[in-house]
Amino acid sequence: MTLKLRELTKKTELFGSGHALCAGCAEPTAVRQVLAALENPPVVALATGCLEVATTRFPDTTWKVPVIHNAFENAATTISGVEAAYKALVRKGRMEPRPLTFLVFAGDGATYDIGFQWLSGALERGHKFIYICLNNEGYMNTGIQRSSATLLGAWTTTTPVGDIRPGKMQWHKDMTRIIAAHGIPYVAQAAVHNWKDLMTKVRKAEAADGPAFINVLTPCDRGWRFDTDKTMEVSRLMVEAGLWPLYEVVDGAWHMTGGGQKRRPVIDALKSQKRFSHLIGDGKESVIAEIQSIVDDDWESLQKLCEMSAAD
């Protein structure tokens, strides 16, 4: 699939200005990329979170497409109902068939934790929709609490740093592989700084014959503690350090994408974020070594999956 930047710039903007997201937030950039990549008009379901709260403040809205918000946990179920209703209306002759894309935007809290069973059920039932997880590795909207997407060693307001605990004690949940285990047609990881990779994956997800899931890294300057002009640099460092591999799973076949991955040590990415500053030069180098070891093992595992797919 070829993306032509000149043509993309001429498309109607579906996500407007005037939202209340923080300066430096990656989410509006990711949302604009996703919407611009779509070839069909979208119908959007929003989970509760930063994006929903900051873009739908009554009586105003940032959205120029149909949007529905239900609750924190059930955006996947909501969009499943919309998709099922559309098919029923067409089947009964009460609506003319038209090209539509059913789309979910949700944070990692709504995806990895609170809404996981709802998402899993929607995928198992086979509803045709795209689920976009805007992953900023925490519950940023409610006060920078940890989620199961938060990295090992990270400071959050619920994983305090001290002599006993060096931040979060657990490795993050590998949600993308968990979703891939559902056997759906299209699953991918992307990052906001690599617009071409993300938008190409959106096009593939839209064309998939069934549900699709894209996990998008969207660094949070407030929660990760970096300057507002460093968002794209931090995203790039996370990918280059192997902390966020870019890949896709197409009908069960695994492929690396994006280029420029895992070519520097994890310390380079950790140093860019003050949420890890307590691990550097404070006798906690063992935590950094553990992170590096896990990243190396996960990278080797991912490479083997891609090699096996290439050999088939």
Question: pLDDT, tens digit, for every residue of 211-263?
Answer: 999 999 999 999 999 999 999 999 999 999 999 999 999 999 999 999 889 99
Question: Reduced to 3 states, what is the DSSP secondary structure of residue 133?
Answer: strand
Q: How close are the terminal C-alpha atoms of the chain, in Å?
A: 22
Task: Report the C-alpha gap between 248 and 42 in whole angstroms.
Answer: 22
Instruction: Tell me the helices (H) and strands (E) count for the chain, helix number first.
Output: 12, 8
The torsion region of residue 137 among left (phi > 0), alpha (psi -120 to 50) and beta comes to left
Domain residue limits, the chain:
5-311
Question: pLDDT, tens digit, for every residue of 5-33?
Answer: 778 888 889 999 889 999 999 999 999 99
Task: Check residue 282 and give its pLDDT.
Answer: 66
Instruction: Using only the alpha carbons of the chain, give its radius of gyration.
Output: 19
Cα dist from 125 to 84, 211, 230, 258, whole Å:
11, 9, 40, 31
Percent of the chain exceeding pLDDT 90 equals 89
307 pLDDT exceeds 70? yes
Residue partners of 290: CB distance under 8 A and separation at least 6: 152
Q: What is the mean pLDDT of residues 139-149?
A: 97
Task: Check residue 312 and give its pLDDT.
Answer: 79
The CATH number assigned to the domain with range 5-311 reads 3.40.50.970
Task: Check residue 281 and give its pLDDT.
Answer: 82
What are the helix (H) ranges across 3-113? Answer: 5-9, 27-37, 50-55, 75-91, 108
157 pLDDT exceeds 80? yes
Surface-to-core class of residue 120, CB atoms within 10 Å of its CB (0-12 exposed, 13-18 middle, 19+ buried): middle
Task: Check residue 10 and give its pLDDT.
Answer: 81
- Contacts of 285-294 with C-beta under 8 Å, sequence gap 24+, read 287/152, 287/153, 287/166, 287/167, 288/153, 290/152, 291/151, 291/152, 291/153, 291/243, 291/266, 292/265, 292/266, 292/267, 294/152, 294/171
Q: What is the mean pLDDT of residues 194-206?
A: 97
Task: Report the C-alpha gap between 156 and 140 in whole angstroms.
Answer: 9
Q: What is the mean pLDDT of residues 285-311?
A: 96
